[in-house]
Amino acid sequence: MAMVHRSEFLPWLPPMGRKTLFALALAFICFAFAFPVLWLILTSLRPESGVYYVHRGTEFTLGNFAEVLREERIVEAFVNSALIATLATVFSLLVTVSSGYMLSRFTGPASRLWFGTIYVFRCVPYISWVLPLYFVTQSWGIYDTYTGLLLPHVAVHICFFSWLMKGFFDGIDPSMEYAAMIDGCTRWGAFIRVAVPSALPAISALAVLCWLFTWNEFLFALILTGNRVPMITVVMAQFVTEMGLRWNLMAATAVMALVPAFLIALFGQKYVIRGLRI
Amino acid sequence: MAAISLSKLNKHYGSLFHAVKDVDLEIADKEFVALVGPSGCGKSTTLRMIAGLEDITSGDIRIGGKVVNHLPPRDRDVAMVFQNYALYQHMSVYDNLAFGLRNKKTAEAEIKVAIERAAGMLGLHELLQRKPKQLSGGQQQRVALGRCIVRNPQVFLFDEPLSNLDAKLRAQMRIEIKRLHAEIPTTSVFVTHDQVEAMTLGDRVVIMRDGRVQQIGTPLQVYGKPANKFVAGFIGAPAMNFIDVTVRSETAATSVEGEALRLTVGASQARALAAHNGRRVILGVRPEHLVLGDGAPGLGFDARVEVVEQLGSEILLETRVGGASVTAARVPAETVIARDDQVRLWAQAGRLHFFDPETELPISG
């Protein structure tokens, strides 16, 4: 694709005008993305009576956060979500890294079969997985348990992220592994000692994406859990009751749920960018 | 002792592609052999089979008299330099150099001595703590060479190691490899598609095409007595000129005739060409064996200059002989010559090659 030279973009505008227009467009896009989050934060700071006129109220409170933190179920949901997200990330990376490596480096029948399998699962709409998984977890007796939620997450991550990992390994020169094999390593040794360290930025990026994906996930959490394993995304939705909508509490919970995701994204962005550049 | 012997070596990829066909090659201990040929000729596959990175379909590979067909690369005691350096990016230069020795559980003190020695030979002392990404292409290739040297293997394998370097650096590294081989005489196999590298580095040159060995010989042998038209055209830069001619054997002399060209052939070649009287053969003559001005009688022909390439040290001429035949000549740089000039070129006596157009084998006396 041919690159558009800057002077070819709106050529009738002077350079300063083009720069200003570009800056305004950028500011608008940033604002459009940030606006819902800002609105959410404002809502979380408003008393219950003020959530419908956030834009003109002057009364602010931290009471919503205090009320949310007093709810044992919400605290439990935070712990559960963090635990499931972390475990799902660790377990799925253990498989995804070797699976992506195999897809990238081997072209035998086993690799082709594995590629075909994850391709098929990748094509199945996400929502189509949920009902069969509900029946499977019920029949295995793991419905509404950590295992019942963890296994589907790991399975989905393996299918979705093996592709990404394959792409990362495709970008790493296999000669390094050949050199390691000549230098005294087995194939497995070359993978562990040379390929994996070289792919570390990509693996870190995948870890961040994996964690955020599980933390934000709603559908599995809704269908595959009941009362025993509350998850933050489901608990948040439960502020919609027959008695009405508790917007202020929902917003406070959402802001709190944003914090870990924000921190992970903030500190992990360096790895995500480096990883995605491999 | 680390002679390498390849016998009836074959490599198939599936049922469709036969990459290496019945390769027989004996490489003596401490010999430097260059495998050369165009892309896809099987030279890198052959090297990778020697290294153990590629399974062989049939045949035998012996290193130091021992059959290594089924040995993994780590047990063959070979070291390899790759085209794209293949340095471990997450390690420092020192750790890159130490990697192989640490795998052999060598004591750190010994490793340090070996690295100091290699670093001294290759001028790597100031680079030891850097990461590969902080090095230039030439420096990275020197580190890759150092990684081979420290292990003190039986065999060095080079897979187009100079291809990623610019022309000037390539020439420097060529000298460096030649010097290293003189200092550490180790059996070496060097794969390249560049015939200049093959000719300058190899004690012997192996020319491959479509998976088969075309000729094995010293640089002078493959240049002076090519085994077929392919070798004749591949070795030498610019490439040998090929002109279709017809043999005219007469009582007084034997000559060959092409379009606007008639050359008298020497006695020994005349005897070989007698059997081809009246038939078409391919005349081959190298550009460096064509001269301007005066030459031996019966060896001159007229040509029209089409392109003049001034190289400073010499001029390369692209000329047209008659209607279609295009030939090239190397003439002194001071020659005053321009496009469309009519010149008379003279072939040097005894420097003509003839090939059978069907078999492409040489017709020699």
Q: Which two tokens stand for residue B113?
A: 């001595």
Instruction: Enumerate chain B positions whose Cβ falls within 8 A of a Cβ in A.
Output: 51-53, 72-74, 76, 78-80, 82-90, 99-100, 103-104, 147, 151
Q: Domain B241-355: which topology?
A: OB fold (Dihydrolipoamide Acetyltransferase, E2P) (2.40.50)
Q: Please state whether the predicted TM-score (pTM) of the whole model is above 0.90.
A: no
Q: Distance between CA B51 and CA B71 in Å, rounded?
A: 10
> What is residue A245's three-state secondary structure?
strand
Q: Which of A173, A184, A200 sits opposite B86 (nearest CB)?
A: A173
pLDDT confidence of residue B61: 97
The answer on pLDDT for A277 being more than 70 is no
- Which pLDDT band holds residue A276 (cuts at 50, 70, 90)? low
For testing contact with chain B, the best of A183, A188, A194, A278 (most B CBs within 10 A)? A183
Q: Distance between CA A27 and CA A30 in Å, rounded?
A: 5
Residue A8 clears pLDDT 80, i.e. is over it: no
Q: Which residues of A touch B133 (CB under 8 A)?
A: none
Phi/psi at B258 (nearest 5 deg)? Answer: -125, -170
pLDDT in tens, A164-183: 899 889 989 999 999 999 99
Given a cut of 80, whether residue B319 has pLDDT beyond it is yes
Per residue in B114-168, pLDDT tens?
A: 999 999 999 999 999 999 999 999 999 999 999 999 999 999 999 999 998 898 8
Hey, what are B177's tokens? 């490899």
How far apart CA B1 and CA A260 sit, in angstroms, is 64
pLDDT of B313 higher than 50: yes
User: Inter-chain contact B90–A179, Cβ cutoff 8 Å?
Assistant: no
Residue position matching structure tokens 């330099």? B81
Q: Is pLDDT larger for residue A10 or for residue B247?
A: B247
> Are the C-beta atoms of residues B147 and B100 closer than 8 Å to each other?
yes
Number of other CB atoms surrounding residue B235 within 10 Å: 24
User: Could you tell me what percent of chain A has a pLDDT over 90?
Assistant: 53
Question: What confidence score (pLDDT) does residue A138 get?
Answer: 94
- pLDDT over 80 (residue A99): yes
**Is the per-residue pLDDT at A159 higher than 50?**
yes
Q: Which of helix, strand or coil describes residue B24?
A: strand
Q: Calculate the average pLDDT of chain B.
A: 92
Q: Distances from the Cα of A74 to the Cαs of A63, A70, A85, A145, in angstroms?
A: 15, 8, 16, 17
Cα A173–chain centre separation: 28
Q: pLDDT tens-digit profile of B334-359?
A: 989 999 999 999 998 889 999 999 99
Q: Torsion over CA of B168, B170, B171 and B174, rounded to 10 degrees?
A: 160
Contact assignment for B74 to A186 by CB distance below 8 Å: yes
% of residues, chain B, pLDDT over 90: 76
- B78-81 vs B314-321, strand pairing mode: unpaired
Give per-residue pLDDT as tens, A62-74.
988 999 899 899 9
How far away is chain A from the Cα of B198, in angstroms, using its nearest Cα? 23
* Domain boundaries, given as residue ranges, for chain B: 4-234, 241-355
Cα gap B186→B1, rounded to integer Å: 10
Q: Is A176 on the interface with B (CB under 8 A)?
A: yes
The answer on pLDDT for A49 being more than 90 is no
Total Cβ atoms within 10 A of residue A178: 23
Query: Predicted confidence band at A247 (pLDDT cuts at 50, 70, 90)?
Result: confident
Mutate to test the interface with A, among B103, B131, B140, B189 (most CBs of A within 10 A): B103
CATH number for B4-234 (one of 3.40.50.300, 3.30.420.40, 2.60.120.260, 1.10.357.10): it is 3.40.50.300
What value does the mean pLDDT take over residues A125-149? 91
What are B51-62's pLDDT values in tens digits? 999 999 999 999
Mean pLDDT of A235-254: 86
Question: What does the DSSP assignment read for B138-159?
Answer: HHHHHHHHHHHHHH--SEEEEE
Nearest to A185 among B51, B90, B103 (CB): B103
Q: Distance (Å, rounded) from C-alpha B217 to C-alpha B207?
A: 9
pLDDT tens for B223-271 read: 999 999 999 999 998 899 999 999 998 877 899 998 888 999 988 888 8
Question: Is A183 in contact with B100 (Cβ distance < 8 A)?
Answer: yes
Q: Say which amino acid occupies A21.
A: L
Confidence tier at B88 by pLDDT (50, 70, 90): very high
Give the pLDDT score at A1. 46
- Domains in chain A and their CATH numbers? 14-63 (no CATH), 72-277 (1.10.3720.10)
Measured in Å, how far apart are chain A's first and last C-alpha atoms? 21
The three-class DSSP label of residue B347 is strand
Q: What angle do CA A212, A214, A219 make, to 5 degrees?
A: 130
Return the residue of A nearest to B157 by Cα: A182
Q: Is B160 within 8 Å of B83 (Cβ atoms)?
A: yes
pLDDT at A82 over 90: yes
Which pairing describes strands B58-63 and B4-13: parallel, antiparallel, or unpaired?
antiparallel
- For residue A54, give how far its alpha carbon lies from the nearest alpha carbon of chain B (Å): 52
Residue B340 to residue B244: CA distance in whole angstroms:
23
Q: Do A183 and B72 touch (CB under 8 A)?
A: no
The answer to whether the bond into B238 is cis (omega within 30° of 0) is yes
Distance CA B137, CA B339 (A): 40
Which residue in the set A175, A182, A185 is minimally distant from B79, CB to CB? A182
| Residue for token pair 């859990």 | A225
Chain B contact for A183 (CB, 8 A cutoff)? yes
Structure tokens at B130: 């850097």
Return the residue of A nearest to B150 by Cα. A183
Q: What tokens does A110 get?
A: 């086993």
| Non-local CB neighbours of B23 within 8 Å, separated by 6+ positions | B6, B8, B9, B10, B42, B46, B59, B208, B211, B212, B213
Cα–Cα distance measured from residue B202 to residue A245, given in angstroms and rounded to the nearest whole number: 83
Contacts of B104 (CB under 8 A, 6+ apart): A184, B151
Query: Which residues, listed in sequence order, are joined to residue B362 by a DSSP beta bridge?
Result: B355
